[in-house]
């Protein structure tokens, strides 16, 4: 159905008015750059990207991707699908207060973690070790998120997202906390592609990358704000820690509940960043956040209770990775399904991608349950039924 010409004109006028009212350091949708042209659309470029992302296959797999805690049968524990929604909400709130482009922030936030492997960061390390052992670069989930949207989705065609969204996605790194977040406005789409290729090889690490927009910086710090307190709430539910265990020198500044921590961090960030070219916390809040992040690592992520199944998980990953590699080499379609998946991406993908990278692409895209089922399919014998003729 075609737009009514008068209605279309009114909508475009209102959208333009909103764009023109953005802050000096915001990224206007008119500045969006795509690597391939698209037909005209009434939606602003970054809003269009957000729609593309939520309708993608890799976005749908968030539903069974681990956040911080896996192998836990508790529906109140955060999964990846909830985490990205929390990031998007926090980031858009900050963006609204700073008068930045919320559509760009939302698109980056929703797409930033699609490259995560099954079993979160633990799985990421195993897949990266597999690639390194094969002499084929490294694996980082933020780089894989870029790869999925740019190279693998839509059966190997990619989604043709804007450079600004792809840049925000690949430059996000919730593991790195900085006291000031600034952007590199001179970065070109060509430079971004160069950074992507260097990231695959491991010659450029994601922690060294700087977003080209302030909106990308907002999403980067929002990732930390979204998980640092929420992971504590989950850890309390799972009885890994108690709320009173958090040092008082931290709680007196940030609070002890997730709602208090999120509110403190957003308020302090906006108080110190309004109408500025960079994002900064006050020294007191930044120091407390740094301490809390370190406390989380020591008491939650590295908690011995959480790691009792780690060796089994490593064995499961290695078994599936090696079986996939063997299946690709032989060309025989067996238990893993990797040859069928590889064919769905077209001849160009197979011709231009090394076998270890194909394996990493396939296994990293699995959900937690899919990986476990693939492992069972490989190692568990099947019943012949009532007879060998059944």
pTM beyond 0.85, yes or no: yes
Supply 216's token pair: 């990308």
Domain count, the chain: 2
Residues 2-52 pLDDT 10s: 888 899 889 988 988 899 899 999 999 999 999 998 888 899 999 999 999
Q: Report H helices in the chain.
A: 5-20, 45-54, 57-60, 80-97, 102-111, 120-133, 141-147, 153-156, 163-170, 189-201, 214-228, 230-237, 248-254, 258-273, 283-296, 310-330, 338-344, 347-352, 355-364, 368-379
As a whole number, mean pLDDT of residues 304-331 equals 94
Q: Is residue 3 part of a domain?
A: no
8 A C-beta contact, residue 102 and residue 29: no
For residue 208, what pLDDT is reported?
A: 84
Q: Is residue 182 part of a domain?
A: yes
Residue 142 shares a structural domain with residue 212: yes
Alpha-carbon distance 258 to 256, whole Å? Answer: 7
Instruction: From 307, 336, 357, give the residue that closes a domain.
Output: 307
* Domain ranges, residue 241: 18-118+137-307
Residues 151-175 pLDDT 10s: 999 999 999 999 999 999 999 986 7
Q: pLDDT above 90 covers what percent of the chain?
A: 81
Residue 292 shares a structural domain with residue 342: no
Q: Is residue 177 part of a domain?
A: yes
pLDDT of 388 strictly over 80: no
As a whole number, mean pLDDT of residues 268-289 equals 97
Instruction: From 260, 283, 307, give the residue that closes a domain.
Output: 307
Q: Which residue, 150, 149, 216, is CA-closest to 183?
A: 216
Q: Is residue 9 part of a domain?
A: no
Residue 220 shares a structural domain with residue 256: yes
**Lowest mean pLDDT across 78-92, 148-162, 292-306, 329-343:** 329-343
Residue 276 shares a structural domain with residue 256: yes
Residue 301 shares a structural domain with residue 353: no
For residue 133, what pLDDT is reported?
A: 97
As a whole number, mean pLDDT of residues 282-308 equals 95
Q: Is residue 191 part of a domain?
A: yes
Q: Is residue 113 part of a domain?
A: yes
Residue 250 shares a structural domain with residue 335: no
8 A C-beta contact, residue 31 and residue 213: no
Confidence label for 389 from pLDDT (cuts 50, 70 and 90): low
Residue 213 shares a structural domain with residue 362: no
As a whole number, mean pLDDT of residues 197-226 equals 93
For residue 109, what pLDDT is reported?
A: 98
Residues 358-386 pLDDT 10s: 999 999 999 999 999 999 999 988 887 78
Residue 295 shares a structural domain with residue 316: no
| Residue with the larger pLDDT of the pair 9 and 321 | 321
pLDDT of 103 strictly over 90: yes
Helix 214-228 to helix 102-111 angle (10° resolution) is 50
**Lowest mean pLDDT across 86-90, 162-166, 171-175, 221-225:** 171-175
Chain mean pLDDT for the chain: 93
Q: Is residue 178 part of a domain?
A: yes
For residue 33, what pLDDT is reported?
A: 96
- Paired with 79 in beta bridges are 66
Residue 301 shares a structural domain with residue 316: no
Residue 73 shares a structural domain with residue 202: yes
Highest mean pLDDT among 201-205, 284-288, 326-330, 379-383: 284-288
Residue 356 shares a structural domain with residue 267: no
For residue 288, what pLDDT is reported?
A: 98
pLDDT of 278 strictly over 80: yes
Instruction: From 286, 307, 328, give the residue that closes a domain.
Output: 307
Alpha-carbon distance 359 to 4, whole Å? Answer: 49
CATH number at residue 253: 1.10.3210.10
pLDDT of 119 strictly over 60: yes
Q: Is residue 159 part of a domain?
A: yes
**Lowest mean pLDDT across 91-105, 147-161, 324-338:** 324-338
pLDDT of 390 strictly over 80: no
Residue 282 shares a structural domain with residue 361: no
């Amino acid at each position: 159905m075609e737009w009514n010409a008068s209605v279309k004109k009114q909508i475009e006028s209102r959208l333009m008015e909103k764009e023109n009212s953005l802050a000096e350091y915001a990224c206007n949708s008119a500045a969006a750059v795509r690597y391939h042209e698209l037909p005209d659309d009434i939606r602003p470029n970054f809003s269009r990207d957000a729609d593309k992302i939520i309708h993608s296959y890799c976005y749908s797999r968030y539903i069974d991707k681990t956040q911080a805690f896996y192998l836990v049968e508790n529906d109140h524990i955060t999964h990846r699908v909830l985490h990205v929604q929390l990031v998007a909400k926090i980031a858009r709130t900050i963006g609204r207060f700073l008068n930045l482009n919320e559509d760009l922030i939302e698109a980056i936030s929703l797409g930033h973690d699609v490259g995560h492997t099954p079993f979160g960061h633990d799985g990421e390390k195993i897949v990266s070790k597999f690639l390194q052992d094969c002499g084929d670069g490294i694996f980082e989930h933020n780089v894989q998120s870029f790869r999925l949207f740019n190279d693998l989705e839509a059966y190997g065609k990619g989604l043709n997202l804007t450079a600004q969204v792809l840049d925000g996605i690949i430059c996000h790194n919730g593991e790195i906390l900085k006291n000031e977040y600034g952007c590199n406005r001179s970065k070109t789409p060509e430079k971004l592609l160069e950074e992507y290729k260097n990231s695959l090889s491991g010659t450029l690490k994601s922690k060294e990358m700087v977003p080209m927009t302030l909106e990308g910086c907002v999403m980067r710090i929002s990732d930390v704000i979204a998980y640092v307190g929420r992971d504590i709430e989950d850890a309390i539910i799972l009885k890994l820690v108690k709320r009173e265990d958090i040092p008082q020198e931290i709680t007196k500044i940030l609070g002890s509940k997730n709602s208090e921590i999120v509110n403190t961090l957003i308020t302090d960030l906006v108080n110190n960043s309004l109408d500025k070219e960079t994002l900064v916390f006050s020294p007191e809040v930044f120091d407390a956040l740094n301490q809390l992040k370190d406390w989380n690592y020591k008491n939650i992520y590295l908690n011995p209770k959480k790691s009792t199944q780690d060796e089994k998980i490593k064995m499961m990953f290695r078994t599936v990775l090696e079986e996939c590699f063997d299946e690709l080499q032989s060309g025989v379609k067996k238990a893993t399904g990797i040859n069928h998946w590889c064919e769905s991406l077209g001849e160009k993908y197979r011709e231009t991608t090394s076998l270890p990278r194909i394996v990493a692409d396939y296994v990293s895209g699995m959900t937690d349950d899919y990986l476990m089922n693939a492992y069972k399919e490989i190692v568990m014998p099947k019943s012949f039924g009532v007879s060998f003729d059944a």
